[in-house]
Amino acid sequence: MAASSNLHYILLSLWCFSFLSTATAEDSPIITRIAFGSCANQSAPQPIWEAINKYDPQVFIWLGDNIYGDIRKPNRLFGKERTIGPWRNSPRFVPSSEEEMKVRYAKAKANPGYSRLLRNARVVGTWDDHDYGLNDAGKEFDRKAINQRLMLDFLDEPLDSPRRKQAGVYASYTFGPSNKRVKVIVLDTRYHRDPLRSDGSILGDTQWGWLEEELRGPHSEITIIASSVQVISNLSATTGPLFYMESWGRFPKERKRLFQLIDDTKRNGVIFISGDVHFGEITRYDCAVGYPLYDVTSSGLVQSVEKVFPRPLRFIVRLLFWYTPNTMRVTNDNCRYKSCTYGQQNFGAISIDWDANPATVRLEIRDVNGLTALSTNVSLSELQPRGSKSLTDPTTKGKSQRHCTLEAELQGITRYRLAVLVYFIITVLVMALVGLLIGVVLTITACVYKCKVD
C-alpha cells in the first residue's frame, strides 16, 4: 500500500513538473522592447540610464566594456616611459589587480540609474577588452579566468551556472511564448581569440560547436546574436593605415564561417548587435545568407568619439564619417546626420510589433535623451531564408551592389581616400610651414643686409 502511494506521489509530481514547465514556456511574457549598449566608464557621469529606464526595456544586453578595468597610462611621446610613437617602450594599458577590478564593478553597480534598471529588466550580457582586463587582449591574457568570475558576479550569475564552469562567458536565453519567441545568443569574442592580424579563430573550437547547437536548436521568430565587436562593418579596411579597429572583418575566415553557419542551419530572423567603437551605426549585408543580415552597433553609453573633440570641432568627426567609404552602412531619411552614424552617447533599442501583419522590428540608436538618432524598420517576413546565397555567388552580388560589396573589396583611391585626404592635408601643412620658415629667413636676411647697407 505504501509503495503504491509513493508511486502515485511520484507520478503526480512528474505530471505537475511537466505542467509547470509547459506553463512557464507558454506563459512567458511577450518581449516587445530590448535595449543594449556598451562602453560605460564607471568613473564618468552616466545620465543615459534615465533615458534607458524611460524606454522601459524588458531585457537589457551588455555588449562589453561594462566597466573600464584596465589602467591607461598618459600619452607620452618623449621621456623615460614613452607610450606612443614609433619609439615607444612602454604599453599604454596595463591590467588592474583583482581588488581594483572589484572596486570598479561595485562602483558601476551602485549607479542609481543602473540599479533601477536591474529592478525592472532582465539584464544579460558579455564582455569586451576593457572589462576582460586589457585593451585589445585575446586568449593570451593570463588573468581571464579570475576576471570571468568577477564579470559573472557583476551580472548576478547564479553560483551553479554553467557559465561559471566553462572557459568563456558565452550563453543563450529564450524569451516569450511559441510563435513570438526571441532567442538571445551572447558570444565571447575574447577568451579564445587568436592575435589580431593572424586571421585565426575568434570563438575557439568549443564555442563554435556550442553556437552550432544553439542555431540548430528550437525555432525562434527572432534570433539576436550579441558580439562585443562589429560583425558586418569592417571600417579598418578603409581607415587603414591611419588606424585600425577590432571587428570580425579583420578575421575574414571566421566571419565567413559565421555567415555560412547561419546559412547552413537555415536559421531565420538573425539580427546582430555589437559595441566597442564609441559610435553608433546600423549596417546591413545582403549576400551572406538568403536574407539581409543587420548589425546594430551601440557604443557608447558613456565613451563616445565626439567627446574627444571640443564642441565647436565635433562637426569634423561627422564630416570624416561621411567621407570615409562604408559599403554596409544603412543610409535613409531616419538619420540625424548625413553620415548615418552617431558619435555621441547612445544606446541601442529593438522594438517588436507582434500585432503587425507581418510582424515588424524597429532597430534604433537613441541618444542620451532617449530620442532616435538612427533607425530602420524591418519586416520579419524579410528575414526568412530564400535559398542559399554564398559570398562568392556573382549573381547575388549583382542584385544589390550597395550592400554586397565588402569594404576590403573596394579598389584603389576609393578604399583609401581617407588616408589620401589626411596625407594630402599633412603635406600641404608641412609645405606651408616650410614656406613660412623660408619666408621668415629671407625677410630676416633682407633686413640684416639693409641694415649693413645703411
**Co-location of 234 and 255 in the same domain:** yes
CB distance 70 to 94 below 8 Å: yes
**Co-location of 314 and 375 in the same domain:** yes
pLDDT at 367: 98
Greater confidence, 448 or 185? 185
- Asked if pLDDT for residue 29 goes beyond 70, the answer is yes
3-state secondary structure of 373: strand
**Co-location of 156 and 175 in the same domain:** yes
- Examine residue 374 and state whether it is found in any structural domain, yes or no: yes
- Examine residue 255 and state whether it is found in any structural domain, yes or no: yes
**Co-location of 44 and 131 in the same domain:** yes
- Examine residue 214 and state whether it is found in any structural domain, yes or no: yes
pLDDT at 398: 41
- Give how far Cα 420 sits from Cα of 240, 268, 329, 415, 440, Å: 11, 41, 22, 10, 30
- CATH number where 370 lies: 3.60.21.70
pLDDT at 388: 42
pLDDT at 397: 43
* pLDDT > 70 in the chain, percent: 90
**Predicted confidence band at 454 (pLDDT cuts at 50, 70, 90)?**
low
**Co-location of 257 and 291 in the same domain:** yes
d(CA 291, CA 386): 7
- Examine residue 335 and state whether it is found in any structural domain, yes or no: yes
**Co-location of 68 and 177 in the same domain:** yes
Q: Which residues contact 56 (CB under 8 A, 6 or more apart)?
A: 33, 120, 121
**Co-location of 312 and 359 in the same domain:** yes
Other CB atoms within 10 Å distance of the CB of residue 142: 10
pTM for this prediction:
0.89
**Co-location of 323 and 259 in the same domain:** yes
Residues 188-221: pLDDT tens digits?
Answer: 999 999 999 999 999 999 999 999 999 999 999 9
Nearest CA among 230, 232, 219, 211 for reference residue 267: 219
**Predicted confidence band at 448 (pLDDT cuts at 50, 70, 90)?**
confident
**Co-location of 334 and 304 in the same domain:** yes
**Predicted confidence band at 238 (pLDDT cuts at 50, 70, 90)?**
very high
DSSP string, 69-129: -SEEPPP-SSSSS--SSTT--S-SEEPPPHHHHHHHHHHHHT-HHHHHHHHHSEEEE---H
**Co-location of 282 and 156 in the same domain:** yes
3-state secondary structure of 186: strand
**Co-location of 303 and 202 in the same domain:** yes
Segment 224-250 shows an average pLDDT of 95
- Domain of 440? 416-454
Greater confidence, 332 or 451? 332
Greater confidence, 381 or 85? 381
- Asked if pLDDT for residue 415 goes beyond 60, the answer is yes
| Element counts in the chain: helices (H) and strands (E) | 13, 15
- Examine residue 20 and state whether it is found in any structural domain, yes or no: no
- Asked if pLDDT for residue 169 goes beyond 50, the answer is yes
- Asked if pLDDT for residue 22 goes beyond 50, the answer is no
- Asked if pLDDT for residue 125 goes beyond 70, the answer is yes
pLDDT at 385: 86
- Considering only 125-134, 221-230, 364-373, 399-408, which range has the smallest mean pLDDT? 399-408
Tell me the residue type at 262: I
**Predicted confidence band at 433 (pLDDT cuts at 50, 70, 90)?**
very high
The three-state (H, E, C) secondary structure of 324-365, written as one string: CCCCCECCCCCCCCCCCEECCCEEEEEEEECCCCCCEEEEEE
> How many domains in the chain?
2
* pLDDT > 90 in the chain, percent: 78
- Asked if pLDDT for residue 288 goes beyond 50, the answer is yes
8-12, 17-21, 71-75, 264-268: range with highest mean pLDDT:
264-268
Q: What is the average pLDDT score of the chain?
A: 90
